[in-house]
Amino acid sequence: MADTAATPDMLSWTCPAPLRDRPRVVMGHGGGGALSAELVEQIFLPALGGTARAALTDSAAVELGGARLAFSTDSFVVRPLFFPGGSIGDLAVNGTVNDLAMSGARPAYLSCGVILEEGVELDTVVEVAAAIGAAARTAGVRVVTGDTKVVEAGHGDGVYLNTAGIGLIPPGVDLRPERVVPGDVVIVSGAIGLHGVAILSERENLRFGTDIESDCAALGGLVEAMLAVTPDLHVLRDPTRGGLAASLNEIAVGSGTGIVVRERSVPVPPPVASACAMLGLDPMYVANEGKLVAFVPREHAEAVLAAMRGHERGAEAVIIGEVVEEHPGMVVARTALGGTRVVDMPLGEQLPRIC
């Protein structure tokens, strides 16, 4: 957590950050912020022959046998395994389903890799498996292949999961940051900050007046409803690790445009606001697991918003901002008092192991 307090020149991942000054992995490398990006851009992409663009997307688009597929993976190390509103099993299914959905694909099949720690109760494994199964049925996907490994006590934490997923990208759908242009409207599908605050409250046994539940949910249906309005959405992103701030920054960098957000329009539920105020967190940086942010051409914005509001997972969708030509690569928030502030890329993650 110390890594979130960083020197200013570490806060933008567009400039090469001094990764090699840190000889060892720190928790922030897994936070979905600038440190994660460094790890990917300076170590994995060069080794794997990828491009920087690849690091900016939730899933890969590949062609195989004439089919245009989305392919994505995530590992899950959330602590605790069960929390208000979900579990590691729900996250593992919905996380990968949502990564696929963000490319416009209809999620179809999942793999599931399980790393168990010696000594974990089999009843816990049963509960996790049941959660995976239930979440897959709700999301309309099938887990078709899996693997189990066991590590000695003290080399794991009960259960770690990995899922990978494949889905079919419909013709005409091409969602990526490069398609974002000034004038695009920024829509969020509902309240932010619920997942991170739910995990933290469970972990630290805090209560904030109202019980806060994770928003963990599959977004495939919502995306389908949006694409039914027009296949010409520009980009979708589910703001997980690093929160809305990280997603908006990734899109600003990837598109080379500026993003302006009206702070008052960002839907932060009062219990999340109170919890964040008490804990010194910024809701813009807190993880979500059942929300998306959409960049939509202005002419389709109202129709897409209406379609979102007509879907269970987008009932509270709202326009929060727009894309501008000014300050390319930068996200700016207009505050309630009429001022502006820069919404930086987070360095690490305010809360480790939230997914």
Map the footprint of a copy of itself across residues 142-201, applying CB under 8 A.
142-152, 154-157, 160, 162, 164, 166-168
Q: Are 117 and 156 in contact (CB under 8 A)?
A: yes
Shortest distance in whole angstroms from residue 274 CB to a copy of itself: 28
* Phi, psi (degrees; rounded to nearest 5) at 24: -130, 155
Q: Which of 62, 206, 228, 303 binds a copy of itself (CB under 8 A)?
A: 62
Q: Does 267 bind a copy of itself (CB under 8 A)?
A: no
Cα–Cα dist 27/37, whole Å? 13
Would you state the structure tokens that stand for residue 82, as one six-digit string? 């069960």
Q: Which is nearer to a copy of itself, 138 or 274 (CB)?
A: 138
Would you state the structure tokens that stand for residue 84, as one six-digit string? 């208000």
Shortest distance in whole angstroms from residue 236 CB to a copy of itself: 16
Shortest distance in whole angstroms from residue 148 CB to a copy of itself: 6
- Residue 77, classified by CB atoms within 10 Å of its CB into exposed (0-12), middle (13-18) or buried (19+), is buried
Q: Which of 14, 71, 213, 282 binds a copy of itself (CB under 8 A)?
A: 71
Shortest distance in whole angstroms from residue 21 CB to a copy of itself: 10
Q: Which is nearer to a copy of itself, 55 or 273 (CB)?
A: 55
- Interface stretch with a copy of itself, choices 6-14, 71-79, 207-215, 304-312 (CB under 8 A): 71-79
How do strand 235-237 and strand 86-87 relate by DSSP bridges? unpaired
DSSP per-residue letters across 93-116: HHHHHHHHHTTT-EEEEEEEEEEE
Q: Does 306 bind a copy of itself (CB under 8 A)?
A: no
CA dihedral (237, 242, 245, 250) in degrees, to 10, reads: -50
Q: Are 90 and 195 in contact (CB under 8 A)?
A: no
Q: Which of 1, 25, 278, 342 binds a copy of itself (CB under 8 A)?
A: 25
Q: Which is nearer to a copy of itself, 144 or 303 (CB)?
A: 144
Q: Which is nearer to a copy of itself, 114 or 197 (CB)?
A: 114
Shortest distance in whole angstroms from residue 72 CB to a copy of itself: 5
User: Which residue shows structure tokens 């501008």?
Assistant: 324
Cα–Cα dist 230/189, whole Å? 17
Shortest distance in whole angstroms from residue 75 CB to a copy of itself: 4
Q: Are 24 and 344 in contact (CB under 8 A)?
A: no
Residues 97-126 that bind a copy of itself (CB under 8 A): 108-109, 111-123, 125-126
Q: Which of these, 269, 267, 259, lies nearest to 321 by C-alpha position?
A: 259
Q: Does 60 bind a copy of itself (CB under 8 A)?
A: yes
Q: Which is nearer to a copy of itself, 254 or 267 (CB)?
A: 254
